[in-house]
Structures are given as C-alpha cells and as structure tokens.
Structure 1
C-alpha cells in the first residue's frame, strides 16, 4: 500500500486560476515556432500581413500580460487523478475547477471576458464570471494530480464537426470536403484535431484532447513518417494547405500548422469521425500537483518570438476619417485594400443586433443612430491600468448575416468583423452600396491599442455585448467585401489554390 498524497483543494483552485491567467497572454512556444516558419515562407501579401499581426499581437500580449484574444474562451479542464491522491476539500472536484475559473476571470489586474451564459435555450444570461467550466476526469495509477486547461474560443468551437462514416469510407476525403465549409471563422492558421473511433462522444473528446499535443509537424516532415497514422497526418497537412484558404481565409500557403489524430477502438459497423479546429489563440497548459503546494508556471523565453516590423506595410494603407465618411468614399474601396480607420465607430454583436432588430420590427427608434456610421462586431475585455478598452478583436461576422439587410437599411455605411460573409449578406452589402471590412482574428491586443476612448451608448445590461462608441486611431483593417459585392474570401483562396497547384 502506498501512503496517500493529500492535495489541498485551495491549492487546486490557486494553481488552475494561475494557469488560466497564464494561457490568456502566453502562446505555447511550439505554436509560435511553427507560425514563424509559416510567416517566413508565405507568398500571399494579405496572408503574410495577417500572420504578422498575429505574431506581433502575441509578443505584445506576453509583454503586457493582457489577453491574446478578446474571446478568452470556454474553459475545458482535463484531469488525471492519481489513485493514491486524496483531495482535501469540502466541495466536489468540479466545483474546485469552477471556483478557479471565477478567480482567474475576475482577477482585477488582468480581468478576462465573461462569455458563458447559464441557460443555453431561453434567457441566455451571462454568468458574469465565465463559470462553469467543462471538466473531464480520469482515474490513473499514481501519486499526482495532472490538470490540463484549455480556453476554447467560440469562433473555433462553433466549427466542430462530427460524422459517422461507413467503415470503408475515406476519412481524408471527408476532411477535405469539410474544411472548406468551415469558412475562416475559426481563425486560421491553426491546428486541426481529429478523433476517430469509439462512439460519438468519445470521438469528440479525443479530437479535443489531440489539440493539446505538442505541434511537431516540422520535425515530422524532416524525418519522415514511421507509421500509417503519421503518413495520414502529413497527407492531410499538405492537402489542407493546398486548398489555399490561408491565414484568416484571405488565400495563402498556410491554413494549418499541424494536423493531430487520435484513435480509439470502435464497433465493427461504425467509423465515428470528429473534427475540431483550434484557432490562432491556441491556449492550453498543463500543471502537476503533488501535495507540496500550489503550482505556478514559468514564463516562456520571449526571445523565441520574432520581432515583427510593419511600418512599410502600414505606409501602403489608406487612412479613413470615419467622422466624414461618405457612401462615395466607401464605393472607392478596392477588394483586399488596407485601410487605417480614424474617428468614431460603434460596436455591436449578436445580442445587440437581435435587440435592434426587435425594435425596428416594432417601429421603434434605435437608441443610437446608425446612419452614416460604421459598426464593429466586437465584445471587448474590460480595461485596466488606464486602457481605453481591453483586448478588442473581431467576432465571427456570419452570425450577423441574418440582420445585415435590415441593419444596412438604417443608413449604416460599413461593418467590421472577421471571416467571410454569406451570399445573402454579400448581396445586401452590394444592394445598399455598403462595405465589409475585416480586422485580424487573433490580434485583439494589437487592435485595442488603436482604441483611444470608449463609452457605452446603448444596452448597458448586455455587458460585453453592449453598444459602445470607440474613438480609434489608425485601426488596421482590410476591405473584404466591396460596394460592388466583390469578396476577397471567394477570390483569394481560389487564386492561391491555383497557384499552389502550379507549384507557386
């Protein structure tokens, strides 16, 4: 018999809370190394600029100890509890994790955005502390408690897919058909995790666990595959990148930096396949408690982060005065053109759009006029230490597609978000002679530095989904849909898919 190791519940809470703060501002070094290589070899100017912003944002977030992305994520915890461990606490283990989430996300020095709603069906009221987490536990031999925490953003989590294939069907073929349908809302370049086998829920679980593995595609390509599974990883990595989707869906050479695959025995009549993408934030870390006290992770060596200089690219951008913007100027913007926005803009995302739509349907006046304005799809992090606003990157714009025609009818001139727009939204943009601009998903701290002032102007009860007015200075965006309905998310990937097929 081994003596029992006693781990204090408070040590679990403190360690997990510290790990959640850590992953909010430190990228894993393996991801930065692979993204840096992608930046060096990228030929698409738009994709290269997007990767540059992600890398620059990562270094800024690490130095400033502020979130990489404004969507600080749904917390998922994977715990391996040694069978010789006893946790000394008055609550259950999951409750300890939930309390750690509250403590981390309400940290006064680096508050993280509360994104969780308690009732998923009806009221959908924000819990205000980002709890509860999703917790998975496993009993294993040993005398330690190992916890891996991940913070999964909604943009990538919403793109999770599942299918049960016939036993003889090709997994690769299904993946190659599925990835282009995900759009860019999952913020590539990232990682694709595949779970194959087990049951429906097991496949989804191992797919998510696969995303926690170290990124090693560069090493795998250098030494060559040793197993059929490694051959499949290389094949999918090369074939997904050959789709030309590229960073932020703008078209380019790198859509994924790695493909991870986990398998499990399954029923002879089944082939369950789960696909979960990981975004450019890629937040996760592992801690091990042994009863000696709380655990704190050491900061990474930031010398591995590349120094990105973007002055030359900035010089190519057109400066736009939002306070004097006209429909004629909007009509002059070209697809893929870089803009720097200056002046006052409004914000609004899902809940604000739903509320405005209800008001318009009832014939009521909106609390703030949208005529002649630009609206930014964002739910920012709360500010600290003199910030005008916390990290404030874009949310996925397709969720606002259902409101686009109606909202443009108020006289709105342009929208800012991330990823592609659907066909109906593109048609509405062209019909109203408006435009759609994109900011880089995964560059939230960088974008927030362009916001010089912020105030809530409507729907304060919605929290981070309230309508703000931002005053911005040289906020970097790219024209994604023009007043004529030209979309770079259609033309960019098609162009680079052809280039890649030709050998670039």
Structure 2
C-alpha cells in the first residue's frame, strides 16, 4: 500500500503553483507561435508578440506571467489503496501548499482571494482557500491537476439550461460577442454539457486542463458528437474576426474543449469557461517516493520573437500632453507612454466616487492626467514594481463619466473593450481610452522606472500609485470621438475572413 506523506503533498502543490506562475505549457507556446506566424492584422500580431516575449522573460526571470496570479483550482484523484501519513485533511494540505506558494519571498504571488464576497470582501492575504474537486479512483497513487485562473477570464463564464432540442453551437456563438475581449484572447474555450448545473460548470473548467490538439483532431476527423462540436466551433469562432485582445484578426481561439456527461431527459445544461493568454496549469502524480518533480522547460521551447513597430507609433509625454494632442490620436495607433501615470482599479474608484459625492478632495489631483487600471504584484529584489499588466476596463465603466467630468481626467489605460456608457462618456468629454495587452504583465513592468503610493495605501495592490514610465506600449482603443477599435477591428476582419471562404 502506498503511503503519501503530508509534507510531500504540501510541497508538491506549492512547487506546482510557483512553476505555473512563470512557465507556460509548451503546447500553448507552440499554438501561440503558429498564431503569430499566420496573423495579418499588425495590431493583433504585435499583441501576440508581446505575450510570447513576456512568456520567455517570465520563464527566465521566474516572475509571474500575469499580475493576476489567479484563484487556485485543484482536481485531485485519490487512489483507494492510498494511505496518508498526516494529521491534516486533504483540503488543509492543499491550502497549506497554496499559502506557501503565494508567500514565497523569491517570487511573491498576488493574493486576490477575498472572504465574505458579498460583504466586507476582505483579502485572505495568502490566496486561500483553493477550489478543490475530489474523486476516489482505483489504484495506489494520487493524481493532481493544479491550475491558477485569472479573474478577467473567469468573469466571462456563461451558463444556460437549454431545451433538449436547442443547438449548443448556436448558443455558444450567441455568447461570444457578450464575452468581449476581457478574457484575453487568443486562448481556449472550455465547454461542459450535461449533468446538472454545477456539473456542467465543472466539466467546462476541467476540459481546459487538456492539451491543445485541435489540429490533430481536424486531421483524423471526429469520432464523437463532442469532437464534432469542437471542430465546428473552432472554425466558426475564428471566423468571427474577434482576434487577439479583441483587436480583430485571424486567431480568436487556439482550441475548443468539450466534455459531456449524462443528463436528465428534460434538461441540457451548457457552460462556457474561457482560458486566457495566461494559461496556467500542470499535472503531477504522487506515488509515495517523495514530492513531485516537475520538468524544467528548455529555453529553446520559446520562439525568438521581436516586436515590429509600425510607422504609426507616437511617443507621448504624459506630463505635458494636452487635450488638443489627444484629439489627434486615431483608433489603432500605437503609443509609447512616458512620464507620470496614475493607477487605480475597482476599490480605488469606488472610494473616489464616494468621496466626490460627499464633496471631499481626492488624495491626488487628476486634472489632465491618465489613470492605469492595474493591481500590480509586489516587487522583489531591486524591482520597482512586480508584473503590472492591465485589468479588465469594463469594471470601471460605471465610474467613468463621473471621473471624467468631476476630476478632469484626460485618459484611461486598461484591458479589452469599453461598454456603451463608457464610450459615450469618453466622447462627450473628448477623452481617450488606451489598451495595454493582457498577458504581458512582466514585459509592461519593465517600462515602469519608479513607483510610489499616492493614495489609499490601506487598499494594498488596489491603492493609487504613481508610476514613472518609459516607452510603455499601448494602443488607442477609443478615440476622443468615441470610435472603438474593438468594434471596428473585429467587424473588418470578419468581412475579410468571409471573403476568403
């Protein structure tokens, strides 16, 4: 009988979470490289290049791929002949591994898990507890999949209880525009069909642990309805023209995964969960011989890619930029930001709006300035700031008009598209919205030369910082007239793709 020691499981979970924080799976790297080679939209191609360059930097520097280091999900299959040498429960051992991983001084990972989710929303400080799925299986080993799921992509999950005769493919394609680009495409869509409501969601999440193999499936042909659906949706989703980061292009998904389960005759539960460009998961087993040993990838696994900067690049001095200058920027323009850039996301915006409603003075003057929607990872060593990629901008939409009209804010930087209300506020105030690439957090951090807290220090990573940046790359996503590249780009590339069929 196999004996699994407490410390072996704890150390294995901790090692796995550190490992996936800076190593992409090789199948993901290969698929992204193929997408980069075939992409024809310069903006989308540059976004993919940034993701691949960031991935290589993180692999060599052992720093997080994304500033959102995720909520931990664990699928654990325990052999029924296993005996445990522990005084802790299985969940407690896994959570202790999470705690050690996220607090490791050499590579601190951002704690994003909040207790009392509809109340105080207080940070647990160590990213526990994980979401854990258990299964007892025949055998004498413990089989574990560890994943870290970012909040931006998780927020785009969808569920429906379809009628038995309804088309799953039609429903998925109907949801795609509603998902926007906040899930950081290109990535994968996991689809769960059947069981009950909670089972469908679990199937969708679990499907994302499978390797990218759609090309092999296309070559051999489908053998099941689930495989037919994968091929059909892979083709149709990529013909949508959404493209990398929602900028329009040839690749929106790298693969479609489908798992199904028997269901009640009256039901057809269906779930979609997207996986973003920060795809983080690893599989290992324990057989009683000690902690898991995870293979160290070779540097040759990453393509040697450089960014190709086009003729429309403009250097911007944030300390002297004027409204007249902002009005000259066109959707799709690439800007290199220099100077002082404020930060703030959900909690900071909520507090600022409350202060403004009470007629109170904000801790920092925002007249004519730009704010970056980011919650950075803590720095280590001589870093100014840890990985600092953008968070999903639509969460700040409800604050946008008040911020623009009452603070004199000139522009915002975030991830993915803006909603209708925010675009109207940007247009009415002749402001601008700039997009940074989600999934390139360590690369972005290299452009940040100084950092200091200027407001709401108690909010931790959600405090207001002032960054000094040099050549931070962004794309004009909504111009001062309210034209959005996230609307025009995908529409244009959908037409281009349709003309080729």
* Normalised-by-shorter TM-score class: over 0.9
The residue number in structure 2 matching 1:363 is: 359
Q: Which of 52, 62, 65 does residue 62 from structure 2 map onto?
A: 65
Question: Given that residues 34 and 218 in structure 1 are in contact (C-alpha distance below 8 angstroms), is that contact kept between their aligned partners in structure 2?
Answer: no
Query: What is the 5 A alignment of 1:38-57?
Result: 38-57=35-54
1:226 positional shift: 3.2
Alpha-carbon distance between aligned partners in 1 of 2:70 and 2:132, rounded to the nearest angstrom: 14
The residue number in structure 1 matching 2:219 is: 222
Question: Given that residues 233 and 260 in structure 1 are in contact (C-alpha distance below 8 angstroms), is that contact kept between their aligned partners in structure 2?
Answer: yes
The residue number in structure 2 matching 1:235 is: 232
Question: Given that residues 312 and 333 in structure 2 are in contact (C-alpha distance below 8 angstroms), is that contact kept between their aligned partners in structure 1?
Answer: no
- Stretches of 4+ aligned residues off by more than 3 angstroms: none
The answer to whether 1:120 aligns with 2:117 is: yes
Query: What is the 5 A alignment of 1:341-360?
Result: 341-360=337-356
Task: Encode CA deviations 1:352-396: one digit per residue, 9 max, x unaligned.
Answer: 000000000000000111111110000000111211100000000
The residue number in structure 1 matching 2:437 is: 440
1:135 positional shift: 0.6
Task: Encode CA deviations 1:245-272: one digit per residue, 9 max, x unaligned.
Answer: 0000001111000000000000011101
The CA RMSD measured in Å over matched residues stands at 1.0
Question: Given that residues 47 and 252 in structure 1 are in contact (C-alpha distance below 8 angstroms), is that contact kept between their aligned partners in structure 2?
Answer: yes
| Alignment CA distance shift 1:481-1:428 (3 Å) | same
The residue number in structure 2 matching 1:136 is: 133
The residue number in structure 2 matching 1:389 is: 385
1:163 positional shift: 0.5
The answer to whether 1:193 aligns with 2:190 is: yes
The answer to whether 1:264 aligns with 2:261 is: yes
The answer to whether 1:173 aligns with 2:170 is: yes
Task: Encode CA deviations 1:82-132: one digit per residue, 9 max, x unaligned.
Answer: 111122222211011111111000000000001011110111111111111
Alpha-carbon distance between aligned partners in 1 of 2:93 and 2:235, rounded to the nearest angstrom: 42
Unaligned runs of 5+ in 2: none
Task: Encode CA deviations 1:131-162: one digit per residue, 9 max, x unaligned.
Answer: 11111110001111111110000001011111
1:225 positional shift: 2.6
1:67 positional shift: 0.4
Unaligned runs of 5+ in 1: none
The SS at the match of 2:124 is coil
Alpha-carbon distance between aligned partners in 1 of 2:96 and 2:475, rounded to the nearest angstrom: 40
Alpha-carbon distance between aligned partners in 2 of 1:236 and 1:122, rounded to the nearest angstrom: 39
The residue number in structure 1 matching 2:15 is: 18
Alpha-carbon distance between aligned partners in 2 of 1:401 and 1:316, rounded to the nearest angstrom: 28
TM-score, normalization: structure 2?
0.99
Q: Which of 13, 29, 32 does residue 35 from structure 1 map onto?
A: 32
The answer to whether 1:208 aligns with 2:205 is: yes
1:229 positional shift: 2.5
Alpha-carbon distance between aligned partners in 1 of 2:117 and 2:9, rounded to the nearest angstrom: 28
1:299 positional shift: 1.3
The SS at the match of 2:475 is strand
The answer to whether 1:110 aligns with 2:107 is: yes
Alpha-carbon distance between aligned partners in 2 of 1:164 and 1:464, rounded to the nearest angstrom: 38
1:300 positional shift: 1.4
The SS at the match of 1:193 is strand
The residue number in structure 2 matching 1:460 is: 457
1:75 positional shift: 0.2
Alpha-carbon distance between aligned partners in 2 of 1:314 and 1:142, rounded to the nearest angstrom: 57
TM-score, normalization: structure 1?
0.98
1:415 positional shift: 0.2
1:231 positional shift: 2.1
The residue number in structure 2 matching 1:83 is: 80
